[in-house]
């Protein structure tokens, strides 16, 4: 058991950014573990993707290609991964922490009796043992788990935790493995893009509103236009999602989405601990609230004390003018 | 039809402290049913009412958890089961799933298990998949809508709400389904029902009852710290809102944030 195996995710026929990040970090971790950096590509037809992954520095790119793997199923993709783990014998397996990869990674770790760390933000190897850092309790606790050597580890990594692989002509090879006979207990009938999808977790700028906006009409009058002026997406606190102003899809916080954008604008959001849990790792936070004692100001890089109903129209107009939107 | 709902007790908020032995200290914070599990309970109740069977709320924990299990009984669960053993306290999610799987196998006649998508304290979302694999059953995670449960045809069809897509998937029964917040509106138990269940003691199964032993966590916690503090911020001052807004936009442009 040595080295690292990266599960490659694909977006429209290309390697996902998070997978390039895992290949970047994987190189360093594989060297520390004294083994190769290998990768795994699973799908309906993955030949094109495999050559992209060789260029990211994989010693061996394992492919498991089968018509039944074109759409993700737990049974199919876990079976493909288990066959690869048997061939590659990695000490550490890396995948992203997306919902699909949590479904996959936890099932794989259970089957392999491996160690599991979910939503990992950092990884290191010391004396042959893997350590994984992961936040819990809404980001209020930062845990470091150290896994005993000799048992494989599955780590599901939060995106943007590591720099992408530089890409090098490494002379790696592609090895195709057959999909073992597998009972598929699920059947995917349909995959549809979310209507009016807001992928808050991918947005570089997010403007969130809270109860300070007084009512639903004000939320829609003030928040989406400001988000549009900034070229961002719009979010909401739990209070106003539960009040039915805004769909759950937009909720940021402990029971909604965890986001980490370049700029997070909290407008009329008091900053309850449940909300802070979902956005406190944002690179820059702007808080606008009429209560100078609101907890949101304690995490803000820039705080503006004022009534959102007065401030937001001015801010939207100012941004439109200065940014030429 | 027999439905099991897995339930965990969590602190209402995550303003927890860290003990010197690196355990989590949630003293003084009100304990509630993990929010996502409340949606799992409601979903279980709705399908149990439709197929008129049995709904067992199952928890692995201590006596302290019984109060929240009674809340699930007041909501309409017909049965309860507490898995309690000193050896369970040190388990990680994958090992805990094996214990719960042993209990579900022992119950014998279970068709469907509902769980919340994750607990709001540990937040890994690994429990439902690990449970399904330990049972050898199908899993449907991040479910935002259950379209049909068909015990005769041994099928469940549901929508999985992922980041950017909605998958419609049919799984064979028995199966494990984990649900998100958007799926339903959990009912409030009436005072009458709360009174009615106030003295119920859930049956307790121990490690010996389940025949599980030798389970352990795969990792040790080598460090547990609060997050680094954010750099102290700046309050934007000005004679009026317009002046403050101009100054804020100046700052955002100067610092190349926009």
Contacts of B236 (CB under 8 A, 6+ apart): A302, A303, A304, B244, B247, B248, B251
CA distance B100 to chain A (A): 13
Residue A280 has pLDDT above 60, yes or no: yes
Query: For B81-94, what is each residue's pLDDT tens digit?
Result: 999 999 999 899 99
Compute the radius of gyration of chain A from its Cα atoms: 22
In a domain, B239, yes or no: no
Distances (CA, A) of B181 to B69, B105, B120: 20, 28, 12
In a domain, B237, yes or no: no
Query: For A83-121, what is each residue's pLDDT tens digit?
Result: 999 999 999 999 999 999 999 999 999 999 999 999 999
Q: What percentage of residues in chain A have a pLDDT greater than 90? A: 87
Give the whole-angstrom CA distance, residue B98 versus residue A111.
Answer: 11
A119 contacts on B by Cβ (under 8 Å) = 123-124
Nearest to A146 among B134, B175, B222 (CB): B222
The pLDDT of B65-86, averaged and rounded, is 97
- Tell me which residue of A65, A63, A53 sits closest to A26, measured CA to CA: A53
In a domain, B215, yes or no: no
Instruction: Determine, for residues B172 and A114 on separate chains, whether the beta-carbon distance falls below 8 Å.
Output: no
The string over B82-111, giving b where at least 16 C-beta atoms fall within 10 Å of a residue's C-beta and e elsewhere, is bbbbebbeebbbbbbbbbbbbbbeeeeebb
Residue A197 has pLDDT above 60, yes or no: no
Give the whole-angstrom CA distance, residue B119 versus residue B139.
Answer: 18
Q: Dihedrals φ, ψ of A84, to 5°?
A: -70, -40
In a domain, B199, yes or no: yes
CA distance B199 to chain A (A): 31
The pLDDT of B236-258, averaged and rounded, is 96
Mutual orientation of helices A99-112 and A74-88 as an angle, nearest 10°?
50
For position B33, which CATH number holds? Answer: 3.40.50.620
Instruction: Determine, for residues B225 and A187 on separate chains, whether the beta-carbon distance falls below 8 Å.
Output: no
Domain count of the fold of chain B: 1
Question: Pairing between strand B175-179 and A14-15?
Answer: unpaired
Instruction: Determine, for residues A138 and B120 on separate chains, whether the beta-carbon distance falls below 8 Å.
Output: yes
* Predicted confidence band of residue A1 (pLDDT cuts 50, 70, 90): confident
More confidently predicted of B37 and B13: B37
Segment A11-17 long-range contacts (CB within 8 Å, at least 24 positions apart):
A13/A48, A13/A49, A14/A49, A14/A52, A15/A49, A15/A52, A15/A53, A15/A56, A16/A96, A17/A159, A17/A164
Nearest to A303 among B18, B172, B235 (CB): B235
**What number is the ipTM of this complex?**
0.95
Structure tokens at A182: 């597998």
In a domain, B223, yes or no: no
Instruction: Give the model's pLDDT for residue A202.
Output: 84
Three-point CA angle B40, B41, B43, nearest 5°: 65
Size of interface A-B (CB pairs under 8 A): 254
Give the whole-angstrom CA distance, residue A22 versus residue A162.
Answer: 7
Hey, how many other C-beta atoms are within 10 angstroms of the C-beta on A304? 25
Please answer whether residues B167 and B160 qualify as being in contact, where contact means their C-beta atoms are separated by less than 8 angstroms. Answer: yes
Question: Pairing between strand B204-205 and B79-83?
Answer: parallel
State the residue range of the domain holding B166. 2-210
Query: For B200-242, what is each residue's pLDDT tens digit?
Result: 999 999 999 999 999 999 999 999 999 988 888 999 999 999 9
CA distance B131 to chain A (A): 8
Give the whole-angstrom CA distance, residue A157 versus residue A94.
Answer: 7
Question: Pairing between strand A129-136 and A122-126?
Answer: antiparallel
In a domain, B72, yes or no: yes
Instruction: Determine, for residues B224 and A299 on separate chains, whether the beta-carbon distance falls below 8 Å.
Output: no
Per DSSP, the three-state class of A87 is helix
Domains of chain A: 4-176 (3.40.50.620), 200-323 (3.40.50.1220)
Mean pLDDT over all residues of chain B?
96
Instruction: Determine, for residues A140 and B227 on separate chains, whether the beta-carbon distance falls below 8 Å.
Output: yes
The pLDDT of A215-225, averaged and rounded, is 97
* Predicted confidence band of residue B27 (pLDDT cuts 50, 70, 90): very high
Nearest to A263 among B125, B221, B257 (CB): B257
Residue A186 has pLDDT above 60, yes or no: yes
* Predicted confidence band of residue A196 (pLDDT cuts 50, 70, 90): low
Instruction: Give the model's pLDDT for residue A129.
Output: 95
In a domain, B226, yes or no: no
Give the whole-angstrom CA distance, residue A163 versus residue B24.
Answer: 32
Nearest to A300 among B128, B182, B233 (CB): B233
Torsion sign across C-alpha atoms A257, A259, A263, A267: positive
Query: For B120-158, what is each residue's pLDDT tens digit?
Result: 999 999 999 999 999 999 999 999 999 999 999 999 999
Instruction: Give the model's pLDDT for residue A100.
Output: 98
Instruction: Give the model's pLDDT for residue A153.
Output: 98
Query: For B161-204, what is each residue's pLDDT tens digit?
Result: 999 899 999 999 999 999 999 899 999 999 999 999 999 999 99
Hey, how many other C-beta atoms are within 10 angstroms of the C-beta on B33? 25
Instruction: Determine, for residues B249 and A110 on separate chains, whether the beta-carbon distance falls below 8 Å.
Output: no
Q: What is the DSSP letter of B181?
A: G
Residue of A nearest to B98 (CA): A110
In a domain, B246, yes or no: no
Strands lying side by side in the sheet with B219-225: A122-126, A129-136, A141-147, B219-225
């Amino acid at each position: 058991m040595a080295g690292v195996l990266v599960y490659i995710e694909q977006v429209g026929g290309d390697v996902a950014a998070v997978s390039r990040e895992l290949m970047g970090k994987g190189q360093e971790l594989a060297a520390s573990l004294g083994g190769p950096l290998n990768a795994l590509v699973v799908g309906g037809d993955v030949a094109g993707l495999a050559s992209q992954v060789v260029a990211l520095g994989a010693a061996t790119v394992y492919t498991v290609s089968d018509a039944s793997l074109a759409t993700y199923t737990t049974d199919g993709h876990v079976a493909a991964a288990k066959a690869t783990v048997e061939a590659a014998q990695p000490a550490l397996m890396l995948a992203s922490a997306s919902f699909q990869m949590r479904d996959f990674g936890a099932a794989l770790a259970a089957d392999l009796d491996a160690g599991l760390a979910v939503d990992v933000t950092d990884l290191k190897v010391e004396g042959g043992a893997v350590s994984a850092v992961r936040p819990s309790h809404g980001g209020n606790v930062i845990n470091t788990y150290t896994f005993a050597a000799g048992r494989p580890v599955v780590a599901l990594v939060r995106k943007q935790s590591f720099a992408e692989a530089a890409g090098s002509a490494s002379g790696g090879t592609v090895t195709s493995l057959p999909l073992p006979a597998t009972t598929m207990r699920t059947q995917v009938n349909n995959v549809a893009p979310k209507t009016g999808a807001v992928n808050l977790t991918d947005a570089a700028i997010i403007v969130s509103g809270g109860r300070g906006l007084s009512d639903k009409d004000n939320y829609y009058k003030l928040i989406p236009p400001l988000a549009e002026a900034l070229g961002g997406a719009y979010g909401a606190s739990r209070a106003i999602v539960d009040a039915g102003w805004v769909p759950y899809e937009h909720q940021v916080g402990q029971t909604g989405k965890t986001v980490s954008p370049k700029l997070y604008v909290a407008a009329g959001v008091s900053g309850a601990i449940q909300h802070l849990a979902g956005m406190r790792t944002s690179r820059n936070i702007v808080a606008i609230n009429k209560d100078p004692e609101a907890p949101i100001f304690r995490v803000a890089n820039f705080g503006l004390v004022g009534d959102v109903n007065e401030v937001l129209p001015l801010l939207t107009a100012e941004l439109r003018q200065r940014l030429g939107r | 039809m027999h439905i099991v709902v897995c339930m965990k007790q969590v602190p209402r908020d995550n303003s927890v402290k860290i003990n010197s032995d690196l355990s989590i200290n949630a003293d003084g914070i009100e304990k509630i049913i993990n929010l996502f599990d409340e949606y799992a309970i409601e979903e279980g109740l709705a399908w149990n009412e439709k197929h008129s069977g049995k709904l067992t709320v199952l928890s692995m924990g201590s006596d302290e958890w019984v109060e929240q299990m009674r809340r699930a009984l007041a909501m309409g669960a017909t049965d309860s089961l507490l898995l309690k053993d000193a050896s369970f306290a040190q388990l990680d999610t994958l090992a805990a799933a094996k214990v719960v799987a042993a209990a579900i196998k022992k119950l014998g006649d279970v068709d469907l298990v509902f769980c919340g998508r994750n607990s709001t304290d540990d937040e890994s979302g690994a429990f439902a998949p690990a449970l399904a694999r330990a049972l050898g059953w199908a899993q449907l995670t991040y479910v935002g809508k259950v379209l049909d449960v068909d015990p005769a045809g041994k099928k469940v069809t549901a929508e999985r709400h992922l980041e950017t897509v909605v998958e419609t998937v049919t799984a064979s029964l028995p199966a494990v389904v984990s649900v998100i917040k958007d799926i339903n509106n959990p009912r409030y138990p009436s005072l009458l029902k709360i009174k009615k269940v106030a003295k119920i003691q859930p049956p307790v199964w121990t490690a010996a009852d389940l025949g599980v032993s030798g389970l352990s966590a795969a990792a040790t916690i080598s460090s547990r710290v609060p997050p680094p503090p954010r750099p102290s911020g700046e309050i934007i001052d000005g004679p009026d809102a317009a002046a403050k807004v101009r100054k804020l936009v100046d700052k955002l442009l100067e610092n190349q944030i926009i």
